[in-house]
Structure 1
Amino acid sequence: MACVRLQHLISNSRRISLYAYVAHSKSTPLNQSKCWSSTIAATPPETKELRSSNETVKLSKAMKAYQERAQQHDAFMFEQTKEYEIGKRHLANMMGEDPETFTQDSVDEAIKYLFPSGLFEPRSRPLMKHPDQVFAKRKDAEFDEAGRPFHTLFYTGKPGYYHVLHVCDLSGIIRELDNFSDRMVRYSVHQDKERALNVGASTWVTKEELENILLEKLKDKQYDFFIVSMNRLLDHPYSYRAKDFVMKFRKQIVSSASLEEIPKLQYTAEGAPYMAATGQRKSSLATVTLYGRGTGNFTVNSENILYFADIQDREQVIFPLQFTGMLGKVDVVADVEGGGTSGQAGAIRLAISRALRSFVDSDTVEKMRLAGLLTRDPRVRERKKPGQKGARAKYTWKKR
């Protein structure tokens, strides 16, 4: 039995040495031969051989399918880009511009000019954008021809998501901020409150927007964990040093007033700019026309500002002009009906504010919105309730 076992071991050792000799006799290095041998062993039988520079490369079925999809997508994007460039050149010729210097902003202005009044909603107008801005992006190849993934976190299923959280982005930035904070404490330097990161006018991107940034599908708990981690970064006293990274995942808050299209100034036969607007307050309705290049005249129902006997009502109607610095620069002609003096003053104030949007810049319009000049006052007189003396007042209760 011992002889049989010894002969078996000798034969196995000869077989192993023969395999080693064959492996070493190849022209490729040892580590490369191991690499290709493991790839060939893991490659399914449905493979295709590509010969280039006297080397044989075997593609897996998944890689072939990916290459086919990538080629189809590239061909589609090429055709769409070609059509976009042709359309942009035609549009430039229609507008009398040079096609070589016709930018995307010029395209938007041309569409806005060609459709001035037919479509009142800007979002319903025709859209002409570059295909990269219209169609969803596709993630690049995540593995090479041999099937090895490029990213170290490929097998997590969410390499981009975990890369942002743990590898070198979020966690690395927090470590750098902690080290910087330790140095400031060591040198007795206190944090200036005015240098803290201000993100008041922005908000975090939604789950769908984050998926478009990472090109990966996320679960709700993964998105929630991401927001918690980013808020932890914002709470750091030196978070202003990571402003560029934080603003990648935040978007500016767009107000409804900014989405509303501001009408352009109109001109009289003499060339003077003017703009008309309406305003409501309680049961009062006002129509106001502002004339530029004026002397500051104020007319209400064919009377001057003394139409309002109460000084508080006068302050209400001239406040928008004072706020925008247009007092004395425009003439105001207002016609108001219905309601009392307080309601009429509020209606005229709102109408003046709406008309002033065409005379000032966008920053001033935003300040007017924050000051409440562009918002209608919805308060009205409350009705009397049955069994009560008034809307809120009760009859005096007497025990006897």
Structure 2
Amino acid sequence: MILKRIGGLIEPLKVICVQNVQCVGAFSYGFEASRSISTTGINLLEIGAESEGHDKKNISKAMKAYLERAREHDEFMKKQREEYQIGKRHLANMMGEDPETFTQGDVDNAIEYLFPSGLFEKKARPFMKPPEEVFPQRKAAEFDETGRPHHFLFYTGRPNFYQVLHDTVQHINDLYKFEDVMISKNLRPDKNLELDLSGYQWISKTDLEAKLVERIGDKDYDSLINALERLCNLPYSYKAKDFILQFKKPLMNQIQNFDVPKPKYDSEGRAYITTYECRRKAAKGDVTVRTPGTGKITINGQGITYFQDVQSREQLLFPLIFTNMQNKVDIECNVADGGYSGQAGAIRWGIAWGLRSFVDQETIEKMRLAGLLTKDVRTRERKKPGQQGARRKFTWKKR
């Protein structure tokens, strides 16, 4: 056995000596010889080829079945992707849209329009999604024909999980280096580019397992979340925003951002905001929020005792308690029509809508996530002719 240094690494070279041969051939593991060496009736390269073919013939049946299943799954997913693309193009043509710019949201709207369904369960309604979202994910082939794993972290038992940890640490180290460079140049991070993750939360352990196609424990999940939290707290974390958002999900889709109005001032110098068109069911009214105040609430010239039931009173106080403003503002309400439940809902929305001008942006985001800023437009469904009620039918009797 002879040791030879190749590119900084020491690799063993097998020396094959044959009688009546003037030169000696050296074959190293992992690369082929540059020339063939003929001996008395023996070609050494042919011997190597025969041995390589012999190894292929000795592939176990389990390995062949494993590779065959992986190949069949890849072909199946490829076929499903092609069918999905064809179906999306047909759907775009039916709706008169450009197939190249037809998004998944357009597909969902087209399916709902062309195939309306009254089924309550969304999973029972017709849909068309990419095959990756319909069929459960499976790990790709992890071995080659010789039994060598593709992933360098295969022997950890959870290569995908440790790959995410590895990438997280890599991003942290890169941001540390970038921060050192910026400090050497006397530059500070721009606050306008600061990473804002309000309205997002970390994906659950179940969702993470589905994403990684691996089972992980609670301790491993906590370790990953702690590492990602550390990455988010770095001053230049916005450079790794795309990586971080892979493990975040929005709490609620924010459809529209409303501009917060600036408060006005009365003759006493107190700031106030009046919200009109406060509606709930058949009730409508207006709400004025004044600050500074003592927590006084006036409803149609009366106190909070205007509502006799406790539930309606709690509806009014909830926005004030949620924002910790119950003893800092005064509320004046005028409401008409509807019942006590509708009037309480209208006033609650008006109070929450007016409090936006007196709290910070983070509190406004929490109010939005809690549903305080969403107007409840639900009303009683009317009775239909030929029916006993809005949905109820008369009892049908055959005889």
Q: TM-score, normalised by structure 2?
A: 0.52
Task: Name the structure 2 match of 1:109.
Answer: 109
What's the CA shift for 1:287? 5.6
Q: 1:93 to 1:352 in 2, by over 3 A?
A: farther
Aligned pairs (5 A) from 1:219-298 = 219-254=217-252, 279=280, 286=282
Once residues 374 and 105 of structure 2 are traced to their aligned partners in structure 1, the CA distance between those partners, rounded to angstroms, is 29
Match for residue 337 of structure 2?
336
Q: Hey, what's the Cα distance between the residues in 2 that align with 1:104 and 1:196?
A: 30
Structure 2 letter corresponding to 1:152: F
**Which residue of structure 1 lines up, in the alignment, with residue 196 of structure 2?**
198
Other-structure match for 2:139:
139
- Closer, same or farther: CA 347–155 of 1 in aligned 2, 3 Å: closer
CA contact (8 A) 1:369 1:375 kept: no
- Give the C-alpha shift of residue 86 in structure 1: 6.6
Q: Secondary structure at the match of 2:69?
A: helix
SS, match of residue 203 in structure 1: strand
CA–CA distance in structure 2, aligned partners of residues 180 and 98 of structure 1: 43
CA-based RMSD of the aligned residues comes to 4.8
Structure 1 match to 2:354:
none
Cα shift readout 1:344-385 (whole Å, capped 9, x = no counterpart): 7545567999xxxxxxxxxxxx99956834367xxxxxxxxx
SS of residue paired to 2:241: helix
Distance 1:115 1:26 in 2: 77
2:171 pairs with 1:170: no
How many pairs does the alignment contain? Answer: 265
Which protein has the bigger helix share? 1
Instruction: State how far apart, in whole Å, the 2-side matches of 1:344 and 1:103 are.
Output: 39
Structure-2 change in CA distance of 1:75 and 1:177 (3 Å): closer
Deviations 1:29-53 (A, max 9, x none): 431599xxxxxxxxxxxxxxxx99x
The CA deviation string for residues 134-182 of structure 1, in whole angstroms up to 9 with x for no partner, is 112222222221111222221111122222223xx22222222222222
Identity %: 46
Distance 1:191-1:32 versus aligned 2 partners, 3 A rule: closer
Mapped to 2, the partners of 1:62 and 1:69 lie a distance apart of: 11
User: Residue 337 of structure 2: SS of its match in structure 1?
Assistant: strand
Question: Paired residue for 2:29?
Answer: 31
CA drift of 1:96 comes to 6.5
Q: C-alpha distance in 2, partners of 1:144/1:170?
A: 28
For the structure 1 residues 147 and 194, does the alpha-carbon distance in structure 2 shift closer, same or farther, using more than 3 Å as the test? Answer: same
Structure 1 96/170 Cα, relative in aligned 2: closer, same or farther at 3 Å? Answer: closer
The amino acid that maps onto 2:282 is A
2:160–2:214: 8 Å Cα contact kept in structure 1?
A: yes
1:1-400 equivalent positions in 2, closer than 5 A: 20-21=16-17, 29-32=27-30, 55-56=53-54, 57-58=56-57, 59-77=59-77, 80-81=80-81, 84=84, 104-116=104-116, 118-119=118-119, 124-166=124-166, 169-254=167-252, 279=280, 286=282, 336-339=337-340, 346-348=344-346, 369=368, 372-374=372-374
* Bigger Rg, structure 1 or 2: 1
Distance in 2 between the 1:135 and 1:142 partners? 20
AA paired with 2:252?
V
What residue ranges of structure 1 are gaps of 5+ in the alignment?
Answer: 1-18, 35-50, 259-276, 280-284, 289-307, 317-333, 354-365, 377-400
Change in 2 beyond 3 A, CA 1:77/1:246: closer
